[in-house]
Amino acid sequence: MALPLVLGIETSCDETGVALVRGDDLLVDAVASSMDEHARFGGIIPEVASRAHLEAMVPTVQRALDTAGVGLADVDAIAVTAGPGLVGPLTIGAAAAKALAVGLDVPLYGVNHVIGHAAVDELVHGPFPERLMALVVSGGHSSLLLVDDIATDVTELGSTLDDAAGEAFDKVGRLLGLPYPGGPHIDRLAREGDPDAIRFPRGLTAAKDQERHAYDFSFSGLKTAVARWVESCQDAGRPVPVPDVAASFAAAVADVLTAKTVAACRRHDVGTLVVGGGFSANSQLRELMATRCADAGIELRIPPIRYCTDNGAMIAALGAAAVRRGLEPSSLDLPVDSSMPLTRVTV
């Protein structure tokens, strides 16, 4: 018998993602993005995103089915992002998923978006080992997860106390007068600058933080330090050396993320690390993580960028893992939860 066909729907932010997974084979991953509609506002407008999801949902589902050459009647289960994310956008995805589950009479699985960012790597690099570490970094999340079972047993070791890594990049981008989202622009400029030009602070790395915040992150102090430094240039009438500021800032973020992640792997005796989320596109992070993982003998798995940004494949992957383990489906009145805790993989 063919393995179950799982349709995954993702709508937590500005991407409408629909994917089909059979077993751990990804058949199709269709995405529609409303980012262009938000760029002029300098941030995601939830109502605009909700409307875009509503308009994109049916065509994106249809495009996924057509591309995979299957019909709705072939679908065995529906997975949908239950949280965390923006309430309006989440609600649109959940409503579509419920309608499909009822109409097709198949089980529905509400799953955790952040854990999906790690789960998608199984589709790319094969089944996970018994235990692994996952670092999920994006505009909305920075979380370090110890994964004993991707569908049932995930422990949050740490997360950001303030800004997410991508968010910090976007805020510093605004400070430097770069277009939104600033992350990729800082990455590019940083490659032309000197990462040792300015010594910016490394948040929560002091000895006193080792007890309570060993694996937590904080980027707001760093952001303020960059702001002060830029102001001091302007006050003195000096031009801001943008590439050096970008490189030194990016180095500080990469240093903290990689040091804490590798320390957590060592502490928990974990030999595999998955990095996911849109910020894993960052070249300073990738380079330093590759070096430090190699030095520590840790296998580093990073999915291609299109599976790191928000997409339906990550949700279908986690749904397929839930189906494989025979987990109880979610109730058809499953609520969305904008701040869904990482202790819950499925609803």
Chain contacts with ligand KG4 (rule: CB under 6 A) = 13, 138-140, 166-167, 169-170, 181, 183-184, 187, 277-279, 281-282, 309-310
Nearest distance in Å: CB 210, Zn ion = 29
**Shortest gap between Cβ of 282 and ligand KG4 (angstroms)?**
3
Q: With respect to ligand KG4, which residue has the nearer C-beta, 52 or 106? A: 52
* Minimum CB distance to ligand KG4, residue 216 (Å): 19
Q: How far is the CB of 138 from Zn ion (least distance, A)?
A: 5
- Of 56-64, 136-144, 315-323, 325-333, the window that binds Zn ion (rule: CB under 5 A) is 136-144
Q: What is the edge-to-edge ordering of all strands in the sheet holding 77-83?
A: 25-33, 15-22, 5-10, 77-83, 108-112
Go through the chain and tell me how many residues it has: 347
User: Whose Cβ is closer to ligand KG4: residue 138's or residue 258's?
Assistant: 138
Minimum separation from the CB atom of position 4 to Zn ion (A): 25
User: Residue 131, class by beta-carbon neighbours within 10 Å (0-12 exposed, 13-18 middle, 19+ buried)?
Assistant: middle
Torsion 2-153-12-272 (CA) sign: negative
The two three-digit tokens of residue 217, written as one number: 């992150």
Hey, which residues between 292 and 311 contact Zn ion (CB under 5 A)? 310
Q: Strands 299-301 and 25-33: what pairing?
A: unpaired
Q: Do 339 and 312 meet the contact criterion of CB atoms below 8 Å apart?
A: no
- Segment (H or E) for 95: helix 87-104
Contacted entry of ligand KG4, Zn ion, none for residue 184, CB cut-off 5 to 8 Å set by kind: ligand KG4
Distances (CA, A) of 193 to 124, 148, 285, 287: 33, 40, 15, 15
Read off φ and ψ for residue 273, nearest 5 degrees.
Answer: -125, 130
Burial class (CB in 10 A: 0-12, 13-18, 19+), 58: exposed
Least distance to Zn ion from the beta carbon of 120, Å? 11
Nearer to ligand KG4, 121 or 329 (CB): 121
Candidates 61-69, 74-82, 137-145, 227-235 — which segment interacts with Zn ion by CB under 5 A? 137-145
Residue 232 has phi, psi (to 5 degrees) of -65, -35
Q: Are 118 and 150 in contact (CB under 8 A)?
A: yes
Question: Cβ 113 to ligand KG4, closest distance in Å?
Answer: 8
* Residue 137 CB, nearest approach to ligand KG4 (Å): 8
Would you say 16 or 138 has its CB closer to Zn ion? Answer: 138
From 87-95, 130-138, 169-177, 225-233, span contacting Zn ion (CB under 5 A): 130-138
Contact pattern from residue 309 through residue 328 relative to Zn ion, giving x for each residue in contact according to CB under 5 A and a dash for the rest: -x------------------
88 binds, among Zn ion, ligand KG4, none (CB under 5 to 8 A by kind): none
Site membership for Zn ion, residue 160 (CB under 5 A): no
Which uninterrupted H or E stretch holds 330?
none
Comparing CB distances to ligand KG4, the nearer of 245 and 323 is 245
Which listed option, ligand KG4, Zn ion, none, makes contact with residue 319 (CB within 5 to 8 Å by class)? Answer: none
Q: Which is nearer to Zn ion, 187 or 310 (CB)?
A: 310
Q: C-alpha angle 73/77/81, rounded to 5°?
A: 125
Q: How far is the CB of 140 from Zn ion (least distance, A)?
A: 6
Distance CA 221, CA 118 (A): 28
Residue nearer to ligand KG4 on the CB measure, 129 or 179: 179
138 binds Zn ion (CB under 5 A): yes
| 183 binding partner (options ligand KG4, Zn ion, none; Cβ < 5 to 8 Å by kind) | ligand KG4
**87 phi and psi, to 5 degrees?**
-55, -50
Distance in angstroms (rounded) separating the CA atoms of residues 339 and 116? 15
Give the interface with Zn ion as residue ranges (CB under 5 A).
138, 310
